[in-house]
Amino acid sequence: MSDPTVVPGLEGIPATHSAISQIDGAAGQLFYRGYPIAELVAQSHYEEVALLLLDGELPNAQSLERFDAGLRAHRQVKYNVREIMKFLPVTGHPMDMLHCAVASLGMFYPQQELSDAERENASHLDSMAMRIIARIPTIVAMWDQMRFGNDPIPPRADLCHAANFLYMLHGQDPDPLHVRILDACFILHAEHTINASTFSVLVSTSTLTNPYHVIAGAIGTLAGPLHGGANQQVVQMLEEIGKIERVEAYLESKLAAKEKIWGFGHRVYKTRDPRATILKGMMQDLAQAGHLRHSRLFEIALGLEAAAEKHLGPKGIYANVDFYSGVLYHEMGIRADLFTPIFAMARSVGWLAHWREQLSNNRIFRPTQIYTGAAPRSYLPLAERP
Ligand code: COA
């Protein structure tokens, strides 16, 4: 047998079989269960896409209604979760809060420890997944009230997933256009094959730990700036550039210093990320309808994308999903440090679809390594060490 080789970042190494989503990196296409992402954004909504990802097929009216009613009924989280959150520092990043609060849910909902029979029972797994998806937005919105000294705004069962989140965040009936855009962002962020956080889901699920540990681990993985954290960095970068005239100089200085341009590049897409194209179209629609409040940022984003494409396009580096999502959230009056928690809210669906898929054909992950350390040797007592 030839010597094994380490592939840094496991680039191109299949870690599992999966029927959930598919990327064609060369053509810039993304499919959920075979459906092109653009069709789902144009014709479906998040609740339906969630069920498609979890179950494998578009739902009929009855199962969609049941799932949607379940989401609406389980938005409340136990009072004691809120008590834990009260003791977290308000200056902390909301992703750190979310990681901690979601992990704590496993203590408050102990039935989430699965027996062998439950692991084989699809409807039990569905109901657990639905409850987690329902509660994460409540935790994020609650925190945004609590950290500014306000009482959390209770969720409303008469609103869809996206509208309810905006309502809990801002305390007023949301603008229907914002609801539509946020719903589209949720769809676009719901799933994306075996990225770093989803890979962490496979690894932790394979140990048969409870799903709250699985999702908390994925939240922690998503928080890094090379993954979900990039959308917050994008808006900070655009603010730092400040005006369109500075785009070229900013770009050149960053590239000369070998620094990354946030919201660009992707391990799999070697052309434009289809999600970025859809989000950019939404920004353009907003601008044309005269609804754009922060047109300066959008103008800088357009300028930066064009300039970066000139420099980075030949290397196969283009704008990714995070480039425009942050600008859209900013437009809706959402604070920048909530952008990544919103990504986590949406992605919880994809993570839970992979959790179920891994459980259906599980073997614990245990890769190997190529040892590069010292050869076996004898312990030296302290007095004899040089
Ligand atoms: N800006 C400038 N250069 C970039 C770049 C970016 N955003 N992304 C990649 N590159 C360059 C690297 O510097 C490297 O150049 P080199 O070959 O001259 O050293 C080359 O492209 C390969 O980059 P690498 O980081 O090894 O690719 P990867 O596949 O390991 O990483 C990302 C993919 C997404 C982590 C990477 O593109 C990145 O850090 N992007 C910025 C963060 C971001 O937007 N993340 C969200 C992803 S959806």
Q: What is the pLDDT of residues 232-247, one digit of tens each?
A: 899 999 999 999 999 9
CA nearest ligand 1 atom 34, residue:
266
Tell me the per-residue pLDDT of 121-170, one tens digit each, with 9 for 90 and over.
777 788 889 999 999 999 999 999 999 999 999 999 999 999 999 999 99
pLDDT band at 288 (very low <50, low <70, confident <90, very high): confident
Model pLDDT, residue 157? 96
Lowest mean pLDDT among 241-250, 255-264, 275-284, 294-303: 294-303
Domain ranges for the chain, please list them.
33-218+348-360, 230-331
109 or 275, greater pLDDT:
275
**CATH number attached to the domain at 230-331:** 1.10.230.10
Top-level class of domain 33-218+348-360: mainly alpha
Which is the catalytic residue, given 74, 322, 330, 354? Answer: 322
Average pLDDT over residues 28-48: 97
d(C-alpha 381, C-alpha 66), whole Å: 67
- Residue 255 CA to ligand 1 center (angstroms) comes to 11
Which is the catalytic residue, given 170, 266, 330, 354? Answer: 266
Decide: 370 and 6 in contact? Cβ < 8 Å. Answer: yes
2 pLDDT above the threshold of 60 = no
Residue 277 is encoded by which pair of tokens? 């194209």
Decide: 103 and 213 in contact? Cβ < 8 Å. Answer: yes
CA nearest ligand 1 atom 44, residue:
263
Tell me the per-residue pLDDT of 154-212, one tens digit each, with 9 for 90 and over.
999 999 999 999 999 999 999 999 999 999 999 999 999 999 999 999 999 999 999 99
Residue 290 is encoded by which pair of tokens? 């005269």
CA nearest ligand 1 atom 45, residue:
226
Average pLDDT over residues 294-315: 92
HSE at residue 174, side-chain half, CA atoms within 13 A, is: 25
280 pLDDT above the threshold of 60 = yes
pLDDT band at 114 (very low <50, low <70, confident <90, very high): low
Decide: 284 and 228 in contact? Cβ < 8 Å. Answer: no
Instruction: Please give all residues whose beta carbon lies within 6 A of any atom in ligand 1, as ranges.
Output: 9, 226, 230, 260-267, 312, 315, 317, 320-322
273 is catalytic: no
Model pLDDT, residue 259? 95
110 pLDDT above the threshold of 80 = no
86 pLDDT above the threshold of 80 = yes
Determine the atom of ligand 1 nearest the C-alpha atom of 260.
1
116 pLDDT above the threshold of 90 = no
d(C-alpha 174, C-alpha 290), whole Å: 18
User: Bridge-partner residues for 23, per DSSP?
Assistant: 30
3 pLDDT above the threshold of 70 = no
- Residue 180 CA to ligand 1 center (angstroms) comes to 31
Determine the atom of ligand 1 nearest the C-alpha atom of 258.
13
Pocket test for ligand 1, best of 199, 226, 275, 312 (most atoms within 8 A of CB): 226
Residue 260 is encoded by which pair of tokens? 């990354």
Q: For the chain, give the mean pLDDT.
A: 93
Tell me the per-residue pLDDT of 219-232, one tens digit each, with 9 for 90 and over.
999 999 888 888 88
Model pLDDT, residue 313? 94
pLDDT band at 275 (very low <50, low <70, confident <90, very high): very high
266 is catalytic: yes
Determine the atom of ligand 1 nearest the C-alpha atom of 265.
37
The DSSP symbol for 8 reads G
CA angle 70, 139, 297 (to 5 degrees): 110
106 pLDDT above the threshold of 80 = yes
Pocket test for ligand 1, best of 259, 266, 271 (most atoms within 8 A of CB): 266
pLDDT band at 113 (very low <50, low <70, confident <90, very high): low
The residues, any chain, with a CB within 8 Å of residue 282's CB and separated by 6 or more, are 181, 184, 324, 328
